Amino acid sequence: MLKPVDGSGGEGIVIGPQASEETLAALRDTVKEDPRGWIAQRPVALSTSPTLIGDRVAPRHIDLRPFAVNDGDDVWLLPGGLTRVALPEGTLVVNSSQGGGSKDTWVLAGLELAPAPAPPVAPHGGLAPPETAPAPRDVGPAAQIAGQQ
């Protein structure tokens, strides 16, 4: 993968294995003229995620951009981040200016939820009908997030 050093927005990126012979030949000449203007890196094996494309769900490549805060003394990560999606099929470029999109990112690690109580068992081994309404469950933020998943 070659990227222009002064590029932004995914502009000018060439992914060698996906590029045509003509594109690679032109890039070869361009890099020879200005080698300091380019940076090379191995393509990153991006994960895929189910993504709604029109009226169907299809896998699309994604990357996660975590949100970090630096107060001058410490750096910490916020729960969540920005998941960028490469919407065109097969592409690895997730940048929104190149046709990419984004997805909600939920972080559930670290949440402690109380386990649901075991249902009552009837003498014959099946589930017994509830005698009373079940006790209300915790509906705090952790339970609400778990419920949304």
Chunked in runs of 10, what are the mean pLDDT values of the chain (149 residues)? 80 81 91 92 84 91 88 85 87 78 76 62 55 48 44
9 within some domain:
yes
Contact 17, 43 (CB under 8 A): yes
Residue for token digits 């494309």?
A: 53
Helix (H) or strand (E) holding 3: strand 2-4
107 within some domain:
no
101 within some domain:
no
What pLDDT does 79 receive? 78
What pLDDT does 56 receive? 92
DSSP 132: S
* Tokens matching residue 101: 């999109």
23 within some domain:
yes
What pLDDT does 125 receive? 54
Range of the structural domain that residue 7 is part of: 1-43
What global pTM score does this model have? 0.53
What pLDDT does 147 receive? 42
Domain count, the chain: 1
What pLDDT does 37 receive? 92
DSSP 16: G
71 within some domain:
no
The CA distance from 51 to 6, in Å, is: 31
What pLDDT does 134 receive? 47
* Tokens matching residue 35: 């080698």
CA distances from 17 to 2, 39, 69, 77 (A): 11, 16, 36, 34
Contact 29, 60 (CB under 8 A): no
What pLDDT does 55 receive? 92
* Tokens matching residue 116: 């649901």
